Chains A and B, each alone.
Chain A
Amino acid sequence: MSPVVNAGFPLLTATALLPAAGAVLTAAVPAARRTAAKWLALLVSLATLVLAAVVFAGFEPGGDRYQFVESYSWIKDFGVRYELGVDGIGVALIALTALLIPFVILAGWHDADPLETSSKRWRPTQGFFALILMVEAMVILSFEATDVFLFYILFEAMLIPMYFLIGGFGDRAHSGSDENAAAQRSYAAVKFLLYNLVGGLIMLAAVIGLYVVAGNFSLTEIAEARANGSLEMATSTERWLFLGFFFAFAVKAPLWPLHTWLPNAMGEATAPVAVLITAVVDKVGTFAMLRFCLGLFPEASKWATPAIVVLALISIVYGALVAVGQRDIKRLVAYASISHFGFIILGIFAMTSQGQSGATLYMVNHGISTAALMLVAGFLISRRGSRLIADYGGVQKVAPVLAGTFLIGGLATLSLPGLAPFVSEFLVLVGTFARYPVAGIVATTGIVLAALYTLVLYQRTMTGPVKEEVRALPDLRARELAVVVPLIAVLIFLGVFPKPLTDVVNPAVRHTLSDVRQKDPQPQIQNVEAAK
């Protein structure tokens, strides 16, 4: 493999640099010109989407594994390189990130506006949008990084803007006093930070360990050396290093029992930031499992699979059951996400092409469907000023469009065929079932539980007699429709025609499976096609 290095326009760097530069510019907009800052951020995110589309369109599924490769020496003494490259999985996730950010910005248009009492010199509005763009830049770069050290830096660095987004811009709809809300918010932000820092710390140890063993940080070189046998690792070393990486990713993903930071963070953050957490930032965790855990430590991955499959199953069932019992809309969505991350991790570690293609698709589809559901929920919450399910009832009567889009978001969450998540969920199930039938069946119960929490949520908030407090709620406005409608359109499109995505993802999955030297289980009866 000798991909063309540093040829032509550094597209990947540009895709990440653009939002970063946009973040700096947005932050620099004068305090009084709040609206200009918002528009700037929106335009930058749209421009990033264009660049991501160029990457997506320019990616050749049949070509090299990593494309658009850029490689520059960074810290020579330690062999750290600024090395970028994307495979199909990275391309898909970059597209997801770039797609979601404009909607996150648009949905959060007023989330950081000054309260009436505030002075004119209110700057956080600029900060809010700058931080979102900063997160986008880091996430995109982390999907591109093929240098372990570079990835590690980004993996940790994105915590900083996220911390401020969670802790600094809480949901204004809360029960209890302002101080109480502030305390809960800072609890959530600190919890988010600590969990991820602990994960990152352990990963740092593993990164150093990897350097000691391998002598450099290049994913491609190490993976190749592992594949052709020139880099031997003692079994126990490999396992420890694997665990170090996996722990960090499992915190971020999040996998049971490392999940409890997510409901707090998603509950306290504003809806767009919650989307940013679960739909974008968390995907770095599952993405990294697929790329780094499997690529660097194939044997250890196989060794750990049974335990991880069990944890993923627990996540699926447990997340769904706890979601049913939630009283807070946003926490419910958070637990639903935990259940979905269980599916993603299950698909990755089933180590079949259906499972891993499904898991990659799942990352994309979960991002979009959760964004749709969560953002509509956010619109609803901002109208009524409460996150409690019990405070709603009969909304469909007063705001039918809101209720309709909420239902579609919910149906996507429960993986209704025709909407994108069905494709990925079924692929994960089939892929898992092919290798671990029992796990496949247990995971299938997830589809009943998903229907339960979604429909219970819909029933309690949207149907029934109209509650007095809800009576005056306005329906979705133009800006909000501009957020929801495209997302739903994408959900439906990818639900009936996922080919553009699968075309890109399939070859990458083939490479990943050959990394771990796994073959798909064959059907018991061969040549069925020939019999036809």
Chain B
Amino acid sequence: MDNLIALLIAAPLLGALVLLLGGRRLDKSGHWLGTLLAAVSFVIGLVLFADMLGKSADDRALHQTLYTWIPVEGFQADMAFRLDQLSMTFVLLITGVGTLIHVYSIGYMEHDERRRRFFGYLNLFVAAMLLLVLADNYLLLYFGWEGVGLASYLLIGFWQHKPTAATAAKKAFLVNRVGDMGLSIAIMLMFTTFGTFAFGPVFEASGQASEGKLTAIGLMLLLAACGKSAQVPLQSWLGDAMEGPTPVSALIHAATMVTAGVYLIVRSADIFDAAPDAQLVVTVVGAVTLLFGAIVGCAKDDIKKALAGSTMSQIGYMILAAGLGPIGYVFAIMHLVTHGFFKAGLFLGAGSVMHGMNDEVDMRKYGGLRKYMPVTFVTFGLGYLAIIGFPGLSGFFSKDKIIEAAFAKGGTEGWILGAVTLLGAAITAYYMTRVMLMTFFGEKRWQPAPDADQAPSAEPAAEHAAGAMPHPHESPKSMVIPMILLAVGSVAAGAVFEFAGFVEWLEPVTGFEHGHSPVSAAAVTAATVAVMVIGVGLAYLQYGRRPVPVVAPRGSLLTRAARRDLLQDDFNHAVFVTGGTHLTRSLVYVDHSLVDGVVNGTAAAVGGLSGRLRKLQNGYARTYAVSMFGGTAVLIAATLLMRAV
């Protein structure tokens, strides 16, 4: 069984290689191959899962060491994998949702001439993501970490001829690199502290290290998590990342890659448990982001960007839960998985809507779509109910637990965190209801597609003549079926986890403690449902009762700020982009004028001097004779003088 682990990664990796190197011959069949290999990986995952279930809880982890990756004196990184319950959960999520999204993409990308390459990138992503969650040491995790970053870069910028897409891709990579700095430094700190960065030994020894060191490591890991999971202050790339094709947004920027930060923190539980200060910062980051994302999500009219804000916010929940320690780890992962289902479903639904609406993304130009796209409406609606935490659906179970755990943190912190999570739940209900109402309810607000010149959209379906009215229609089967399956997951996952013992499943890896909440569980649940109802009601009053204006009203100061991602981007632009440009320009100038100038100046001085000296060579023998006599006289004088002294 151990040897199957590498196969998990190998299958999609093979797909990526074949598809990217195969050339045009594979244009016709490439997408099937890519989907098949993702499915193969999923099947292997299921086999391993079945095997794992058959073992006792403490004996489930599998290890496989292929070879020593980097052998240097005192520094050893193995190409080694670990498959325990935590990685297993991820493996199933990645390959399962991944396979569904492969299927969906067959239909979605049908008209794109570069579909083969798209599937190659998707397979590359799946392979890298599996490497990330299966790695048995931090350096190999870093390999997967950057690998998914690369896949994300390639896929966000898939329509490279759109300058916005290319810029968004670059931005995502760069912001992630800032986070990666954190991961590098964390690994270096581990190396100097423990002499190794393999999971097992580091976790074993984490008790012996000083708290300061562990806090530093924890904070650096958090920085990495912030980059990858779009947490404040490194969140700015996620909204722009929606430039990528919608299946990419669903798979990478909703269900899997962006949750890697949560994985990292939960995986490093032993380090964080011993560094309460770092944990506190984690919860703060989570809390801030969950509000930040929710507020941004309320103001966006672009359906994908609204969902992106929501993703940020939901991951904020997970990070917050992960920061709570053993009372929260399990629920962080549980929410991660349920979120993977419903958010992927929501994105696929959004993609389906766009597919039927000439790639319009502005929700103000939707309206009343439920009649035209019944299946999309139902699946999207189930995802909607799941995310706002409608009782019985998956989001309800997982979010409720996080809110409970937040209160159980105890003390003032517990109350603040609990309040923030409740507030977040209310805002979630508000913005999701807004999305739902603006898209599927109300009257039709469709408009002719903009001229191709004005919006050089290259979404595959953008072959409609410019100026044509959209004809909303249900999407093809290959797109609808994954949506249905994900909707089933969104509905059922929570209950299944709750009653099938998700806590017991993960406990051997992450540890688990029952928190002692100052508020009873029933009260929390009641409060959660209550704030949800308030959120839904507010949104209904604003968007359900009144017609939605096609042109966005100016809005309050907060709305306008939220539309601009709470000015964070403007800040980045002013400080890093403008400042950086000035810095590089001035350095180029310095390099040219100062550093090079010194050298060129020396050269010019020598040249000038020699020009002067050259004048002495006038060709008159008598002048030379004078200089000879003069020189001789000076020499004799000098000799005599030396004698005299």
A and B touch in their complex, CB below 8 angstroms: yes
Interchain CB contact under 8 A, A532 and B173: no
Q: Does A448 contact B192, Cβ atoms closer than 8 Å?
A: no
A440-B185, A528-B194, A529-B196 known, 16 other contacts, Cβ within 8 Å: A194-B603, A260-B591, A416-B146, A418-B143, A422-B146, A430-B188, A434-B191, A434-B192, A447-B180, A455-B173, A463-B161, A465-B456, A509-B73, A510-B73, A525-B193, A531-B201
Q: How large is the interface on B (under 10, 10 to 19, 20 to 34, 35 or more residues)?
A: 35 or more
Mark contacts of A418-430 with chain B using CB atoms, 8 A cut-off: 1 yes-contact digit, 0 otherwise.
1000110011011
Interface residues as binary, B58-78 with A (CB distance below 8 Å gives 1, 0 otherwise): 000000000111111111000
A254-276 with Cβ < 8 A to chain B: 256-257, 259-260
CA distance in complex: A417, B77 (Å)? 13
Q: Which residues of B contact A191 (CB under 8 A)?
A: 599
Mask, B199-214, CB within 8 Å of A = 1, is: 0111011001110010
Within the complex, which residue of B73, B145, B166 is in contact with A464, where a contact is CB–CB below 8 Å? Answer: B166
| Cβ 8 A contact of A448, one of B139, B143, B174, B456 | B174
A521, B177: Cβ atoms under 8 Å?
no
Residues A433 and B174 in contact in the complex (CB < 8 Å), given A354-B72, A354-B75, A528-B205: no
A455 and B585 alpha carbons, distance in the complex (Å): 18
A interface footprint on B557-598 (CB within 8 Å = 1, 0 otherwise) = 000000000000000000000001101110110010001100
Contact B73 A354 (CB under 8 A): yes
Closest A residue, CB atoms, query B189: A433
Q: Give Cα A492 to B509, complex, Å.
A: 34
Closest to A331 in B: B588
Q: Which chain B residue has the least Cβ–Cβ distance from A465?
A: B161
Contact with B along A388-429 (1 / 0, CB 8 A): 000000101100000010000001000011100011001101
A353-B163 contact, Cβ under 8 Å, with A448-B177, A529-B201: no
Q: Are B173 and A429 in contact (CB under 8 A)?
A: no
B219 CB, min distance to chain A CBs, angstroms: 13
Kindly name the residue among B191, B201, B583, B591 whose own CB sees the greatest number of chain A CB atoms within 10 A. Answer: B591
B588 touches A433 (CB 8 A): no
Chain A residues near B180: list those with CB within 8 A.
447-448
Residue of B nearest to A431 (CB): B75
With a cutoff of 8 Å between Cβ atoms, the chain A residues found around residue B79 in the complex are 496
Neighbour of B170 across the interface among A353, A423, A459, CB < 8 A: A459
Choose, from A88-96, A226-234, A316-324, the stretch at the interface: A316-324
Expressed in whole angstroms, the Cα–Cα distance for A440 and B146 within the complex equals 20
Question: A523–B192 contact, CB under 8 A?
Answer: yes
Could you say which residues of chain A place their CB within 8 Å of the CB of B145?
417
Q: A451 within 8 Å of B by Cβ?
A: yes
B160 at the interface (CB under 8 A from A): yes
Contact between A531 and B204, CB atoms less than 8 A apart: yes
CB pair A427 B194 closer than 8 Å: no
- Say yes or no for B36: interface residue by CB 8 A criterion: no
Residues of the A chain whose Cβ atoms lie less than 8 Å from the Cβ of B588 = 322, 325-326
Known interface pairs A434-B191, A448-B177, A520-B73; A417-B142 also in contact (CB < 8 Å): yes
The 4 closest A-B pairs by CB, nearest first: A523-B195, A325-B584, A353-B73, A463-B166
Interface: B375 (CB within 8 A): no
Q: Which of A194, A427, A526 lies in contact with B75, CB distance below 8 A?
A: A427
Query: Do A502 and B160 contact each other (CB < 8 Å), given the known contacts A322-B591, A455-B174?
Result: no
Any chain A CB within 8 A of the CB of B462?
no
Give residues of chain B (137-152) contacting chain A, Cβ–Cβ below 8 Å. Answer: 139, 142-143, 145-147, 150
Name the CB-closest residue of A to B196: A528
**18 A-B pairs with C-beta separation under 8 A:** A396-B161, A397-B161, A418-B143, A418-B146, A426-B184, A430-B187, A444-B184, A448-B177, A455-B153, A463-B157, A464-B163, A498-B69, A498-B70, A503-B71, A523-B191, A525-B195, A531-B201, A532-B200
| Contact yes or no, A455 B170, CB < 8 A | yes
Main secondary structure of the interface of B (DSSP, over half): helix
Q: Which residues from chain A sit less than 8 Å from chain B, CB to CB?
A: 191, 194-195, 256-257, 259-260, 318, 321-322, 324-326, 353-354, 357-358, 394, 396-397, 404, 411, 416-418, 422-423, 426-427, 429-430, 433-434, 437, 440-441, 444-445, 447-448, 451-452, 455-456, 458-459, 462-466, 496-499, 502-503, 506, 509-510, 520-526, 528-529, 531-532
Main secondary structure of the interface of A (DSSP, over half): helix
Q: Are B585 and A260 in contact (CB under 8 A)?
A: no
Q: When the two chains form the complex, which single residue of A324, A416, A429 contacts B150, counting CB atoms closer than 8 Å?
A: A416
Is B26 in contact with chain A by the CB < 8 A criterion? no
Are B181 and A322 closer than 8 Å at their CB atoms? no
Known: A437-B192, A451-B173, A528-B194. A322 touches B75 (CB 8 A): no
Q: Does B178 contact A (CB under 8 A)?
A: yes
Distance, CA A418 to CA B142, complexed state (A): 10
* A325-B584, A430-B191, A456-B170 known; A532 vs B204 contact (CB < 8 Å): yes
Chain A residues whose CB sits within 8 angstroms of the CB of B68 once the complex forms: 499
Tell me if B517 is interfacial: C-beta within 8 Å of chain A: no
Using A430-B188, A430-B191, A521-B192 as known contacts, say yes or no to A325 and B178 having CB atoms under 8 A apart.
no
Residues in A with CB closer than 8 Å to B178 are 448
In the complex, what distance in Å separates the CA atom of A459 from the CA atom of B154?
A: 12
Do the beta carbons of B174 and A447 come within 8 Å of each other?
no
Report Cα–Cα, A191/B208, bound state, in Å: 57
**Contact residues in A for B456 (Cβ distance below 8 Å):** 465
Question: Which residues of chain A are near B69, meaning CB under 8 Å?
Answer: 496-498
**CA–CA, A199 and B533, complex, Å:** 77
If A451-B173, A455-B170, A459-B170 touch, does A497 touch B67 (CB 8 Å cutoff)? yes
- A324 touching B584 in the complex, CB below 8 Å, given contacts A447-B181, A524-B192: yes
* Min CB gap B68→A, angstroms: 7
Given the known inter-chain contacts A260-B599, A464-B160, A502-B70, please indicate yes or no for A441 contacting B185, CB distance below 8 A: yes
